[in-house]
Amino acid sequence: RLKTINRLQVIIQHLKMSNQTDSTAEVLLEKRGGAGIITLNRPKALNALNLSMIKQIYPQLKTWEQDPETSLIIIKGTGGKAFCAGGDIRAITEAGKVGDKLTQEFFQGEYRLNNAIGTCKKPYVALIDGITMGGGVGLSVHGHFRVATEKTLFAMPETAIGLFPDVGGGYFLPRLSGKVGYYLALTGCRLKGRDVLKAGIATHFVESAKLPALEKDLIALKSPSKENIADLLNSYHKKCTVDQEKKFVLDEHMEKINSLFSANSMEEIVKKLKQDGSPFALKQLETINKMSPTSLKLTLRQLREGASMSLQEVLRMEYRLSQACMKGQDFYEGVRAVLIDKDQSPKWKPPALEEVSDEFVDNCFKPLGNDDLKL
């Protein structure tokens, strides 16, 4: 009897493997109709992106891009709470503490994947239902279509953990209207639902409950062009009335955001916020004062330079910054304070903006020679 059970288990295991949708896999890659579908499948970890997922998604994306039978690519998350809450920061922290190569391999792999999405010749549709932060933004924002829902929660909260808004943040953030991108990057401000569309991060807004139907309709399209896909997404978008009447959450502050966040240095932004003295300005000041001073300076320069760079140039620059952060102190301290001990009181070094020298910042942007990111 035991033998039969064992044999059954072997057969079941084999079936699971042959049909790449093993429910325990961290990422599911399947072909349905003309669509290649990527499903991030770590619901307990809010679909956080790790190196093994990157290593599976990248070659599959490249294969589908070349495959005449694949006409579009869809990416989504499981579990109903998150599309992807970010990169696997804990693993990177552990690796960094012991000088493991993961601190290089993870960022190399992730940024190459961001570039593959940004240059993908096939229409790429990201269903950003639920939490979409950091690395999750990198998996979606560079694609052709980003569909937000009332459950979408967007943020680039990296300055709070001694990092910077990477994954091509230096490319897409300064290209948002006015200084919204600078504001989102420096304060880590969260946007919800329709506001993600209004800020220019999503391209469409669809009710969460309608996503399965939308996906089915996308899969049913016969060798669609980008226009066909846009038409289908537009038809769903137009039918969605959720929060239709709501004004953009930042509307009333746009004038202030555009003037206060247009300064050339962090010190000047802080000075402007103090001088302004409005409740909004003081609230931003309070937020900024909690962030890593080093991260704030790196971020402001990253966005200012990224505004006139190609995505590839931005990713190379960000790789240099990532390696500088891995060698520094604030990243490990930020992760400790926010994610591990959760005491929310990081001890930044240096603790003040004035103490982060221009020379230090310049060094973080310097080319790494043979170690630079190859795209």
If the chain, 375 residues long, is cut into consecutive pieces of 10 residues, what is the mean pLDDT of each piece? 61 51 86 97 97 98 97 98 96 95 97 98 98 98 98 98 98 98 98 98 98 98 96 98 95 97 98 98 98 98 98 98 98 96 97 98 98 97
Structure confidence at residue 8 (pLDDT)? 64
Angle formed by the axes of helices 180-187 and 293-306, to 10°? Answer: 160
In the block, tokens 């971020």 appear at 299
Of residues 110, 158, 195, 215, which has the active-site annotation? 158
The torsion angle over the Cα atoms of residues 260, 263, 267 and 269, rounded to 10 degrees, is 10
Distances (CA, A) of 3 to 6, 8, 14, 44, 107: 5, 8, 16, 34, 46
Q: What is the pLDDT of residue 17?
A: 46
132: Cα separation from own chain's centroid: 7
| 181 a catalytic residue | no
What is the length of the chain? 375
In a domain, 230, yes or no: yes
pLDDT tens readout for residues 169-218 = 999 999 999 999 999 999 999 999 999 999 999 999 999 999 999 999 99
- 8 is a domain residue: no
**Dihedral angle, C-alpha 373, 154, 50, 297, nearest 10 °:** 40
The Cα 109–Cα 102 span in angstroms is 10
pLDDT tens, residue by residue, 10-26 = 555 555 544 455 678 99
In a domain, 235, yes or no: yes
Q: How many angstroms separate the CA atoms of 344 and 366, rounded?
A: 32
In a domain, 12, yes or no: no
Q: Is residue 156 part of a domain?
A: yes
pTM (predicted TM-score): 0.93
Residues 6+ apart with CB under 8 A from 144: 120, 123, 124, 125, 203, 226, 229
The active-site residue out of 34, 77, 109, 135 is 135
Q: Is residue 3 part of a domain?
A: no
Name the active-site residue from 88, 110, 129, 166.
166
Q: 34 catalytic, yes or no?
A: no
Domain that holds residue 115: 27-242+253-370
Residue 14 lies in a domain: no
CB 135 within 8 A of CB 79: no
150 CB neighbour count, 10 Å cutoff:
16
CATH of the domain at 123: 3.90.226.10
Question: According to the model, what pLDDT value does residue 244 have?
Answer: 92
Known catalytic membership, residue 88: no
Q: Decide if 4 is inside a domain.
A: no
Dihedral sign (CA 216, 220, 223, 229): negative
Q: Domains in the chain: how many in total? A: 1
- Is residue 305 part of the annotated active site? The answer reads no
